[in-house]
Amino acid sequence: MKKAVILLSGGLDSTTCMGIAQNEGYELYPISFDYKQRHRKELEAAKKIAEYYNVKEHRIISLDNVGGSALTDKNIDVPEYKGDGEIPVTYVPARNILFLSYALGYAEVIGAEAIFIGVSSVDYSGYPDCRPEFIEAFQKVVDVGTAAGVKGKSIKIIAPLINLSKAETIKLGTKYGVPYHLTTSCYNGKEKACGVCDSCVLRLKGFAEAGIEDPIEYEK
């Protein structure tokens, strides 16, 4: 069976990628990252999601915290959603570069054909490493910087949600039976989602536009 590494954060988008990859016939090899984020809830969610899909292996990789983000520095408050087009303080410097680099090495070791990443450039916070330009640039790195690429068997970076709205993503995931009740999206990581941070607002908007009830609880 063909193999795929899935960047699994425990959130809505990465879990949708699990459903898509499974539907396309891949054996799933999710990896999650402990990058000293401000809460553990997303890692706990990732574990439950990996168990749900009965994966052969789920790796959790520990990385040092470089700081500079509200998601890694508790001295920086998580802001409410503004949608003003500015890159918010929840941006984690070079996060997807680091995640994809590790995933790439892992993919070469296990002989995976693809790496799935749940980035979107439609309903998103404006992070530079979630744009098509970034995925295209990283694919070039894969093609020229790995043994697989040099041998003409390059590992494909697949971003199936890149041009989808959050509503379209939710509809697709629902079609594939994605367990959204196990996911978490809130940047604050409390028992109930805050409902006002970027991630919560975009998630709620997506479920509302999809006409589907969000199965998680919110404070607001």
Annotation-wise, does 83 bind a ligand?
A: no
Annotation-wise, does 1 bind a ligand?
A: no
Distances (CA, A) of 41 to 10, 11, 96, 125: 8, 10, 19, 20
Contact 38, 71 (CB under 8 A): yes
How far is it, in rounded angstroms, from Cα 68 to Cα 91? 8
How far is it, in rounded angstroms, from Cα 100 to Cα 96? 6
Annotation-wise, does 182 bind a ligand?
A: no
Annotation-wise, does 186 bind a ligand?
A: yes
Annotation-wise, does 130 bind a ligand?
A: no
DSSP symbol at 59: E
Annotation-wise, does 8 bind a ligand?
A: yes
Sheet holding 114-116, edge to edge: 59-62, 27-34, 3-7, 114-116, 156-158
Annotation-wise, does 17 bind a ligand?
A: yes
Annotation-wise, does 63 bind a ligand?
A: no
Annotation-wise, does 161 bind a ligand?
A: no
Estimate the share of the chain in helix, then strand, then coil, as percent rounded to the nearest 5: 40, 10, 50
Annotation-wise, does 12 bind a ligand?
A: yes
Which has the closest alpha carbon to 129: 161, 160, 94? 94
Known binding residues for Zn(2+) are 186, 194, 197, 200
Known binding residues for ATP are 8-18
Known binding residues are 8-18, 186, 194, 197, 200
